[in-house]
Structure 1
């Protein structure tokens, strides 16, 4: 409990004079605060709230020193609300406490001016007012810090609860568009904004470790930094042993444009990952179903990369989208595989077809790579057309054969996927 000193009549009169000029003092504090970036960047509404809190705090001091009593519980509750609001306004605690230091400094300057004019009051100011002023502002700073930290913790728990609710909607009930929009908006996210999912494999991460959350935060921070995106705009969850991160896509851009943009930053994405980590990148998705789809695609791309293990570390679903689409239909898969099986009895024909597509269907280049005469190449291609009933000048057929060859190169991976 604060012990409020009793003022002499002369000091009371001078203190009343200071209180009457309250605006000069509070304006000085507010002007000093606006030199700090944390205050300069505030919206006009929040600035007004800060100014009102400075005025309230100054009046609280003068009421206490003039009445000879500590602030009432009702006043302290109002005072603590300022600290709670600063959490939601995004103000760091050090910036909040800076206002108290400036406030106490401005008050003391006012009393120094009194001491300069009234030598008889110097002792009272030095031995009575000065200790109380320091103790008072220390107590009030502790009080508002506690209110700030409690609210920050409560907000973190609240956000965590909402995030789990959002993940449940995305992965389990994506058809609940109303709940998705409401929950995303409550988290400060734009539910209509398109996003791209990353799925990250972290072999060395231990979900039971006390440092686990920090490890995930470190990966998310690294990605945010390299993509020059505010960390608050990223959404992350530990899903079936993988870190899934949704990053904002460029609104209005086509799916392919956003995918190419991410592909252009693949080196930066690699740098953001721990040495042993791998990443899958999904296609752009919008809404609950879209966010769920891009996460599933990122996981599929990651699974492909882990089976492939060719050292790239970052894998894009767009690179396997045709094969994945085919795998989704048993009949289509069997049909395409059967095309290549018809050529398996003649390795020369199979090699010829592969080389033909590798050389972008340029016959002269394909013949040169194979080391055969162009007429021999033409003969082999005619045999392929006859065996398959195909036409290599038909776009439909060339597309089917191209995908079939890619599926063949995937080899055992197809069987693994079908058995999963």
Structure 2
């Protein structure tokens, strides 16, 4: 059987290669010279190896699997998925088996069973050798890519001289970056679990899904510094992406939140590389303001929080505005009622429902607030002062 298989190697190689091209689109996209060269060579090598292990009734040696390991590492560098490579080996093994068993008769059953055993052992060896070499090559490549991305992000965030950075590392920044600050809520699987248990796994899964959504949006790996609570993201872009609509940034944040299974609050701004540090600082401040003012999760920009942002700047007026509400410090229920009443657009019934009290109780508390502070939400001028005072109070 081994001799017959060796004689059919050229024809069988052509058939195996043709099958790979028809069944596996990844292989069909490889250069023709690579198919006719490297791929055909490794197919022939495997066919002859199969004949040897059958004839000599033994497993393959480590040296006999060296070419397969080298080939797998090359495919890893080319970006061919591991599942496609393993499928290709499975196709070759199956066609070997078909060739071997084609002319077998009832009296050949013991030999057929022994050949099947040799096939299974060889397939196991090939899978192990190919997977190991592929993963090792990918680990090296990913480490290099990750190290380069980390260095680039560090240089951008530090405001380093980017021309000097490029000369030193060979890495060139993009023309523009979409800077984002993300705040991630805990996933349900993170809550109530001690550190180092399933909570850590849930946090890593959440972060990985966020990164996948970001990478898909920009088409290349994003520059990220994320932990379970959020962090900073830099996405290389040719032009500022649209804010709303299909393919816009609001849709990206919604998709990221859906993928991660948690609410995501984000601030974003597109800038040139030299402006990245200032944009990142501004985004972080916007996300903080959104959290302090109790706004819902979603995507924000400076225009959405102009009043809060301006009132959060240190000044004597800021302290004075905050002191307008000092008479309510000892009455937390009044302060909470005021915040809720203003947040619901002065709708006493909606505020009462949110506070789980009767609307008359809201009216009573608003009158008490007026008596203690001298300010009433019913007077337009006072309403402006009350809103500003709440913002200032959260900022000092």
TM interval, shorter chain, is 0.5 to 0.7
Matched, 1:38 2:26: yes
Deviations 1:85-120 (A, max 9, x none): 33333333322211121111222222234x36xx69
Single out whichever of 312-321 and 89-98 deviates more from structure 2: 312-321
Distance 1:180 1:261 in 2: 36
Q: Is the 8 A contact 1:278 1:313 kept in 2?
A: yes
Alignment CA distance shift 1:136-1:413 (3 Å) = same
2:253 — aligned with what? 269
Which of the residues 186, 205, 215 maps onto 1:214? 205
Which of the residues 86, 92, 114 maps onto 2:81? 92
Unaligned segments of structure 1, at least 5 residues: 1-10, 342-405
Which of the residues 309, 333, 343 maps onto 2:294? 309
Distance 1:311 1:85 in 2: 49
Matches within 5 A, 1:267-416: 269-270=253-254, 272-273=256-257, 277-287=263-273, 289-311=274-296, 313-319=298-304, 413=391
Largest Rg, 1 or 2: 1
Matches within 5 A, 1:54-203: 54-65=43-54, 71-113=60-102, 115=103, 122=108, 125-172=111-158, 174-179=160-165, 185=171, 191-203=173-185
Alignment CA distance shift 1:179-1:318 (3 Å) = farther
Deviations 1:202-249 (A, max 9, x none): 242668642221111123334566x5x54x533321279533223343
Q: Secondary structure at the match of 1:233?
A: coil
Distance 1:82 1:294 in 2: 46
2:235 — aligned with what? 247
Alignment CA distance shift 1:95-1:184 (3 Å) = farther
Q: Secondary structure at the match of 1:284?
A: strand
Shift of 1:177: 4.1
1:15 — aligned with what? 5
Aligned residue pairs total 319
Q: Is the 8 A contact 1:196 1:281 kept in 2?
A: no
Q: Is the 8 A contact 2:268 2:283 kept in 1?
A: yes
Alignment CA distance shift 1:322-1:192 (3 Å) = farther
Q: What's the RMSD between the two structures over aligned residues?
A: 4.4
Alignment CA distance shift 1:307-1:100 (3 Å) = same
Alignment CA distance shift 1:133-1:270 (3 Å) = closer
Alignment CA distance shift 1:218-1:263 (3 Å) = closer
Shift of 1:40: 3.4
Q: Is the 8 A contact 1:233 1:248 kept in 2?
A: no
Alignment CA distance shift 1:410-1:247 (3 Å) = farther
Q: Secondary structure at the match of 1:171?
A: helix
Alignment CA distance shift 1:151-1:99 (3 Å) = same
Deviations 1:147-202 (A, max 9, x none): 223434444445444444333323235324444687695xxxx7324221221112
Alignment CA distance shift 1:272-1:13 (3 Å) = closer
Q: Secondary structure at the match of 1:103?
A: helix
Q: Is the 8 A contact 2:60 2:125 kept in 1?
A: no
Distance 2:306 2:34 in 1: 48
2:327 — aligned with what? none
Distance 2:2 2:247 in 1: 72
Distance 1:290 1:63 in 2: 64
Q: What's the TM-score once normalised by structure 2's chain length?
A: 0.63
Distance 1:96 1:181 in 2: 38
Shift of 1:315: 0.8
Matched, 1:204 2:195: no
Distance 2:158 2:249 in 1: 31
